[in-house]
Each structure stands twice: as structure tokens, then as C-alpha cells.
Amino acid sequence: MAETALLARGLTRRFGGLAAVRDVSLALKRGSIHALIGPNGAGKSTLVNLLSGELAPSEGTILLEGRAIAGMPPYRIARLGVGRTFQRSNVFRDMTALENCRLAAQARHPRSWALHERAQACGPSIEAASRALAAVELGPRASVIAAALSHGERRALEIAMCLATEPAVLLLDEPLAGMGPEESQRVLALLRRLRTGRAMLLVEHDMDAVFALADVITVMADGVVLASGTPEAVRNDAAVREAYLGEALTA
């Protein structure tokens, strides 16, 4: 069994009287893709925000490689090795692709404060940025301003920015949203490659992609976990079929 990188136990988040996430437990293992699916409003994005520190849990614990991180600010969780992308494309639009990744890599650089050295002369962070761009096959587009990239390229750039921070855990919030079939195929191949050595949580609506890619699938509805297991087990789970998958998988 692969080792667990991120372990969440009994996570609950309330907004006023409403529990957006209720008693959710989850184990992300190194080298595996863990998909999180569920209808809109199921609490998927809230859960990602809890794991990345954007939101503090009302109850429950989160262990990153055995270390409790629940309630830490997002920047500390990021530095400890949790990288995330956002549902809506979230890059620095007025910077080039390389500069986006260089800035990301700088977050891990010990002297990111240095005032006198030119950022563009910072070797280690440029190297990390170039590696990350190459990993998502954006190398030839390095000097293009992010605003001028295609939608698919921007999504790939976001993943590259995460990679540049060398995370142990990747939280990807709908990386395929708004992509054409060809772009989707390219990103799927990328995610498959990235699985090695990392734990990955994938929130995605594209069921074909999820079932083709995921090692483990967790299904959420109304803030609770409905089922969790291998794609095969989830596909055959009666509660899941009724609540969510419905017709989509009977064919």
C-alpha cells in the first residue's frame, strides 16, 4: 500500500447554520490520483479550501505527512508542500508564462526577500520555472504574456505554477473546465505523468476523464461522503447511482 501524504479526519465546516462539509475523512496517497466528484453544491470546493487553508475547519484534523496543518494560514500550508489550482483560471495575466512560474518558484526560495538582486537573475527559481513549464509542454511559450495564452494553455500554466513550488500534494479544482476534447486529452496525459511521486486530489465534472484516470474516487453529496473506493466499486454503488451518476453510467 502506498504511503499516505495527506490525511483528513472528520472535517466539518459550517457557515452559520449550514454545514457545507460534514464529517468528511479522506486519505491522499503518494503516486495515486484521488478524484472527488459530486453534484454542484456537494461541498467539493469547500473541502479543497479546507485542505489548502483558505478556510479553517470548524471541526476535524488534517495531517500532512503526519503533521497537523488544520487552521494554518494558506501560505504556510503551501510552503509545507500543498499546491493547488483554482476553479477559475488564476494566473498573473500581465506576466509572461516563465515569469508566472518564476514567481511561484520564488516562494520556496530561502531569500525571496533580497532587495538588491534582480529577480530575473535568480538562477535557481528560473531553473525550477523552466522545468515546470517543460513538464506541462509550455516550454516554447515561455515568453508569451499569460493574457495572450489560450484557455487550455492558461490552465496548464496554472498547473506548472504549482509544480514550480515542488509540492508533495496537488489539489486540482476542475482542471478540465471549459476545455475542448483535444486540450482535455493533453491535460489528462499530463496528469497521468504527474502522478509519479505525488499525491493528487482531482475535482472534476468530466466523468469519462475521472473514471479513466482515478485510482480512488470519493463521491460527495450535500456535504457528506456518499461512497469512496476504486472506480469499479463506486460505479456499482447503489447509493451513488441513485444520487448522482444516474443514467450516465447505465449505458
Partner 1 sequence: MTGVRRALPWLALTLLVALPGFAGKFYIDLFAKIMIMAVFAMSLDLLVGFTGLVSLGHAAFFGLAGYTLVLSAPDKYTAASLWTSLPLAVAASTLLALAIGALALRTRGVYFIMVTLAFSQLVYFVFHDTKLGGGSDGAYIYARPKAQLGPWTPIDLGDGTQFYYVVLAILVVAFAFLRVLLASRFGHALSGIRSNEQRMRALGFDTYAYKLAAFAIAGALAGVAGYFAAIQFGFVNPEMLSWHESANVLLMVILGGSGTAFGAIVGAFAFILLEDAFSLATRHWLLLMGGFVIAAVMLLPGGLASAGERWRHRATASSDG
Interface residues toward partner 1, by CB under 8 A: 52, 54, 73-76, 78-79, 83-84, 86, 90-95, 99, 102-104, 106-109, 111-120, 122, 125, 161, 165
Give residue 167's identity as a one-letter amino acid code.
P
Nearer to partner 1, 82 or 221 (CB): 82
Nearer to partner 1, 110 or 181 (CB): 110
Cell triple for residue 67? 503533521
How near is the Cβ of 13 to partner 1 at its closest, in Å? 18
Please give the torsion angle defined by the CA atoms of residues 194, 34, 75 and 115, in that order, rounded to the nearest 10 degrees.
10
Nearer to partner 1, 94 or 127 (CB): 94
- Residue 147 C-beta: closest distance to partner 1, Å: 11
Which grid coordinates belong to 127? 531553473
In the complex, the smallest distance separating the C-beta of residue 78 from partner 1, rounded to whole angstroms, is 4
Q: Compare residues 112 and 230 and give the one whose CB is closer to partner 1.
A: 112
Q: Phi and psi (nearest 5°) for 29?
A: -105, 145
Distance CA 91, CA 98 (A): 12
Least separation in angstroms between residue 17's CB and partner 1 is: 27
- The candidate with the shortest Cα–Cα distance to 123, out of 145, 143, 105, is 105
Is the CB of 92 or the CB of 211 nearer to partner 1?
A: 92
The smaller minimum CB distance to partner 1, of residues 67 and 79, is found at 79
Q: How far is the CB of 84 from partner 1 (least distance, A)?
A: 5
What is the distance between the alpha carbons of residues 241 and 237, in angstroms, rounded to a whole number? 6
CA 125 – CA 248 distance, rounded (Å):
45
Degrees to nearest 5, angle at CA 218 with 86 and 32: 75
Cα 57 from Cα 43, distance rounded (Å): 13
Rounded Cα distance, 215 and 31, in Å: 9
